[in-house]
């Protein structure tokens, strides 16, 4: 009898402990450097902090008022530093700067060896009011990998709205984040981060496939460029049913 009471007490205590954790997880999560404090940076940063990640913004001007405000909004111990210092502090680096700034930014961050670099960027130019694909041989992500050869580059989040990154619920249904990269463990980590944000990942293979994932953005942009905002969409890849034997 005493033994049974002890067991019940132990289970109740364990359940109470579990119930006191937030819905995501109270276990320590990675420090993520969010490089760029524009639409993407200010969408992903606060949401990542909300689900338990420590965010360090990498900015050209960490003392700018917009960055100070973003850090305050982000909370959970968020900070802002130079791009290089932010990357130094983190195991995951999210690259969220305009394409023209990607090469100098990656090179300025210095040693990214061993770090997971999530490349959110799109090699697109909007000069002269038209959209041009800036990389036609290969992909932007492979160039990022060539500029940071020791990093584990994973392309993700490039073909979706920053508003949905901040709040997936506004999409009105599930949203897929296609993901490509050459490092299996890095992709597993990014898939977990994507799930933490309430989004679904789809592993579409090696980094060499980044050209197709970047092509999805070109398709994504069509209603916007045609000035048909009512026709805008988010990608959701539904798995085909298994073939009958």
Ligand X SMILES: NC(=O)c1ccc[n+]([C@@H]2O[C@H](COP(=O)([O-])OP(=O)(O)OC[C@H]3O[C@@H](n4cnc5c(N)ncnc54)[C@H](OP(=O)(O)O)[C@@H]3O)[C@@H](O)[C@H]2O)c1
* Interface with ligand X (CB under 6 A): 36-41, 59-60, 67, 96-99, 101, 105, 120-122, 124, 157-158, 160-162
Q: Which is nearer to ligand X, 81 or 195 (CB)?
A: 81
Q: Which is nearer to ligand X, 121 or 209 (CB)?
A: 121
* Integer Cα distance of 87 and 93 in angstroms: 6
Among 6, 236, 5, 224, smallest CA distance to 122 is for: 224
Helix (H, G, I), strand (E, B) or coil at 69: helix
What does the angle CA 112 – CA 206 – CA 109 come to, to the nearest 5 degrees?
15
Min dist. Cβ of residue 245 to ligand X (A): 41
Q: Which is nearer to ligand X, 147 or 157 (CB)?
A: 157
* Integer Cα distance of 218 and 99 in angstroms: 14
Go through 118-138 and write b for each residue having 16 or more CB atoms within 10 A of its CB, e for each that does not.
bbbbbbbeeeeeebebebeeb
Min dist. Cβ of residue 227 to ligand X (A): 17
Min dist. Cβ of residue 178 to ligand X (A): 12
Min dist. Cβ of residue 132 to ligand X (A): 13
Min dist. Cβ of residue 57 to ligand X (A): 7
Q: Which is nearer to ligand X, 177 or 191 (CB)?
A: 177
Q: Which is nearer to ligand X, 151 or 234 (CB)?
A: 234
Alpha helices in 35-119 (DSSP H): 41-50, 65-74, 83-89, 99-108
How many helices (H) and strands (E) in the chain?
9, 10
């Amino acid at each position: 009898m005493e033994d049974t009471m002890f067991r019940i007490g132990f289970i109740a205590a364990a359940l109470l402990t579990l119930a006191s954790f937030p819905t995501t997880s109270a276990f320590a999560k990675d420090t993520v450097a969010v490089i760029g404090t524009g639409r993407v940076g200010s969408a992903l940063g606060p949401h990542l902090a909300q689900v338990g990640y420590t965010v360090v913004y990498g900015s050209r001007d960490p003392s700018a008022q917009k960055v100070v405000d973003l850090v305050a909004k982000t909370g959970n111990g968020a900070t802002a530093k130079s791009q290089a210092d932010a990357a130094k502090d983190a195991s995951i680096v999210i690259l969220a700067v305009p394409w023209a700034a990607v090469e100098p930014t990656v090179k300025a961050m210095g040693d990214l060896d061993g770090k997971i670099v999530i490349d959110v960027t799109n090699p697109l130019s909007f000069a002269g009011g038209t959209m041009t694909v800036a990389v036609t041989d290969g992909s932007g992500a492979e160039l990022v990998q060539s500029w940071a050869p020791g990093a584990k580059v994973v392309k993700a989040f490039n073909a979706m709205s920053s508003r949905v990154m901040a709040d997936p619920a506004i999409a009105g249904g599930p949203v897929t984040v296609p993901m490509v990269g050459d490092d299996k463990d890095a992709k597993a980590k990014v898939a977990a981060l994507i799930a933490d944000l309430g989004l679904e990942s789809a592993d579409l293979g090696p980094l060499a496939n980044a050209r197709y994932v970047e092509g999805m953005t070109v398709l994504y942009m069509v209603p916007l460029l045609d000035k048909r905002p009512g026709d805008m969409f988010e990608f959701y890849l539904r798995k085909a049913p298994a073939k009958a034997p």
